[in-house]
Chains A and B, each alone.
Chain A
Amino acid sequence: MRDILRKEIRLSASPLAFAFIPFGLMFLIPGYPILCSAFFVTLGLFQSFQYAREANDVTFSALLPIAKSDVVKGRYLFVCFIEACAFAVMGAASVIRMTVLADAPVYRANALMNANLFALGAALVIFGLFNLIFVGGFFRTARKIGRPFIAYIVIAFLTLSAAEAMHHIRGLENLNAFGTEHFGLQLIMLCAGLAVFSLLTLISCWKACYDFERVDL
């Protein structure tokens, strides 16, 4: 799999996939729907899929001496690699906001979601949805990217809006914790996000391997 990931990074990936990783720093922007940064990262990945398609990457990979399912797994590995890099950037930005900037007035007056562990968990859910809806949808045909991306946009923005709205609901205020307040709850929400991401990605990868095996290239 190391060689496949290397191929994805060196040949198949669009530079935009890497260029969008720093968008994780949008977690530092006050008064901004910070989960949009997760969407921008997936936008870079979408561009990468388009780039790879124009380079005939899928057929090229299917001709390499690897199992057809490894072509799918390689792409998932690359997607998760970019998402992990972006998540690390978001994580670093969140730690800064939760520690040294925990009491900054500009963040305290923030009506939107705070950068905390819940926000990181929600970002993972957005990534999981991208893997499930877009990446999985792409491997149904190994060609068409428009429809799965539109479906992903709709679901991602509904999820993003729901996540932004949650802390305004009575009883859920603690989701918008500052600093290390309600740390136990915050940690549970991060773990839940990680579990959702893992589950969606694994289901999507398994289904994509099955679908791609039946695609005529």
Chain B
Amino acid sequence: MSIAEVRHLGKKYPSFELQDVSFDIKAGRITGFIGRNGAGKTTTIKSMLNLVHPDSGEIRYFGEPLSANEKQIKKRIGYSTGTVSWFPGKKIRDIVDTVHRFYDTWDSEAYRKYLDYFELDENKTPSQLSEGMKVKFNLLLALSHKAEMLILDEPTSGLDPFSRNELLDVFTALKDEGTAVFFSTHIISDIEKCADDIVYISKGRIAAALPREEFIGRFSLAGESLEETMLRMERGDHHA
């Protein structure tokens, strides 16, 4: 079942254009959104969160259009990025105390559970956290209001291999609990490790949006790794 549908998304900038971007995100699955730097991943994700206004196309969550149901939909999804630090000088405790009031679905037990799981100290400020811990803090906020779907923009970017591995394990655990995880990355091994579905964007267009096995079956040459397949596709050779 599709939990989110992106249809014919288009956005034109002076030096870049997102063209006819369409894909589905399914409930209880991990979808890896891959593409090189500047391919259009962040623009797509920002459009999915109504931070950027697409010139064309439609985004629906839970069967409802985002444009007409923004408030309700945002209560059911969570967003995180590995590169932005919110309120760097404020204590985590104070940020959480303010944010939780916006969610009637806020679950204090889940908050405590993930606080311990991520080994976060409430008395620290985001500026005192490592990049990996910042991602975990953002995840903590998303998970504590029982988000049914997580949208994560480059969550593994800048993480060391150990933290990256740990984070990907968290995604798998969340999937097992029924949460849909949609994460963008330019690191192909992240996709290999945990993604069920692959959405591959290149030069502002969706080159493929398929379950991982189908993607490999359709595009990979015999004995070729996913990384080699994508590097070849990025050079313009899409034929297996």
Known interface pairs A11-B94, A216-B46; A65-B87 also in contact (CB < 8 Å): no
Q: Considering the complex, which residues of chain B in the window 152-199 have a beta carbon less than 8 Å from any beta carbon of chain A?
A: none
- Say yes or no for B75: interface residue by CB 8 A criterion: yes
Please report the C-alpha to C-alpha distance between residue A86 and residue B171 in the assembled complex, in whole angstroms.
Answer: 49
Q: Considering the complex, which residues of chain B in the window 81-101 have a beta carbon less than 8 Å from any beta carbon of chain A?
A: 84-90, 94-95, 97-99, 101
Known interface pairs A64-B99, A67-B70; A55-B51 also in contact (CB < 8 Å): no
Contact: B53 with A65, CB < 8 Å?
no
Q: Which residues of A contact B74 (CB under 8 A)?
A: 63-66
Please report the C-alpha to C-alpha distance between residue A181 and residue B62 in the assembled complex, in whole angstroms.
Answer: 67
Contact: A63 with B101, CB < 8 Å?
no
Q: Which residues of B contact A68 (CB under 8 A)?
A: 50, 70
Contact: A11 with B90, CB < 8 Å?
yes
**Choice from A10, A11, A12, A59 contacting B84 with Cβ under 8 Å:** A59
Interface residues in B, total, Cβ within 8 A: 27
Known interface pairs A10-B94, A64-B74, A216-B52; A55-B46 also in contact (CB < 8 Å): no
Q: Shortest Cβ distance from B155 into chain A, in angstroms? A: 15
Q: Considering the complex, which residues of chain A in the window 1-22 have a beta carbon less than 8 Å from any beta carbon of chain B?
A: 3, 6-7, 10-12
**Choice from B46, B89, B95, B99 contacting A217 with Cβ under 8 Å:** B46
Q: Which residues of A contact B71 (CB under 8 A)?
A: 65-67
Contact: A55 with B102, CB < 8 Å?
no
Please report the C-alpha to C-alpha distance between residue A102 and residue B95 in the assembled complex, in whole angstroms.
Answer: 48
Q: Mark A50-63, 1 if CB is under 8 A from B, else 0.
A: 00001111011011
- Say yes or no for B103: interface residue by CB 8 A criterion: yes
How many A-B pairs have beta carbons closer than 8 Å: the answer is 64
Q: Shortest Cβ distance from B61 into chain A, in angstroms? A: 12
Closest to B103 in A: A65
Q: Which residues of A contact B98 (CB under 8 A)?
A: 3, 6-7, 10-11
Closest to B80 in A: A63
- Say yes or no for A214: interface residue by CB 8 A criterion: yes
Q: Mark A165-209, 1 if CB is under 8 A from B, else 0.
A: 000000000000000000000000000000000000000000000
Please report the C-alpha to C-alpha distance between residue A99 and residue B49 in the assembled complex, in whole angstroms.
Answer: 57
Known interface pairs A55-B86, A56-B84, A56-B85; A62-B94 also in contact (CB < 8 Å): no
**Choice from B49, B52, B86, B101 contacting A3 with Cβ under 8 Å:** B101
Q: Shortest Cβ distance from A6 into chain B, in angstroms? A: 6
- Say yes or no for B79: interface residue by CB 8 A criterion: yes
**Choice from A3, A55, A64, A67 contacting B88 with Cβ under 8 Å:** A55
Q: Which residues of B contact A62 (CB under 8 A)?
A: 49-51
Please report the C-alpha to C-alpha distance between residue A6 and residue B101 in the assembled complex, in whole angstroms.
Answer: 10
Q: Which residues of B contact A7 (CB under 8 A)?
A: 98-99
Q: Mark A141-164, 1 if CB is under 8 A from B, else 0.
A: 000000000000000000000000
Q: Which residues of A contact B52 (CB under 8 A)?
A: 216-217
Q: Which residues of A contact B72 (CB under 8 A)?
A: 65
Q: Shortest Cβ distance from A209 into chain B, in angstroms? A: 14
Closest to A54 in B: B88
Please report the C-alpha to C-alpha distance between residue A174 and residue B97 in the assembled complex, in whole angstroms.
Answer: 52
Closest to B86 in A: A60
Contact: A3 with B102, CB < 8 Å?
yes
Closest to A7 in B: B98
Contact: A217 with B51, CB < 8 Å?
yes
Please report the C-alpha to C-alpha distance between residue A122 and residue B204 in the assembled complex, in whole angstroms.
Answer: 54
Q: Considering the complex, which residues of chain B in the window 16-62 have a beta carbon less than 8 Å from any beta carbon of chain A?
A: 46, 49-53
Interface residues in chain B, defined as those with a beta carbon under 8 Å from any beta carbon in chain A: 46, 49-53, 70-72, 74-75, 79, 84-90, 94-95, 97-99, 101-103
Q: What are 22 A-B pairs with beta-carbon distances under 8 A?
A: A3-B98, A3-B101, A3-B102, A6-B101, A7-B98, A10-B90, A11-B87, A11-B98, A55-B87, A56-B84, A56-B85, A57-B87, A59-B51, A62-B49, A63-B49, A63-B74, A64-B74, A65-B74, A66-B102, A214-B53, A216-B46, A216-B52
Known contacts A57-B86, A57-B87; 9 further A-B pairs (Cβ under 8 A): A3-B102, A11-B94, A11-B98, A56-B87, A60-B87, A64-B74, A64-B99, A68-B50, A217-B51
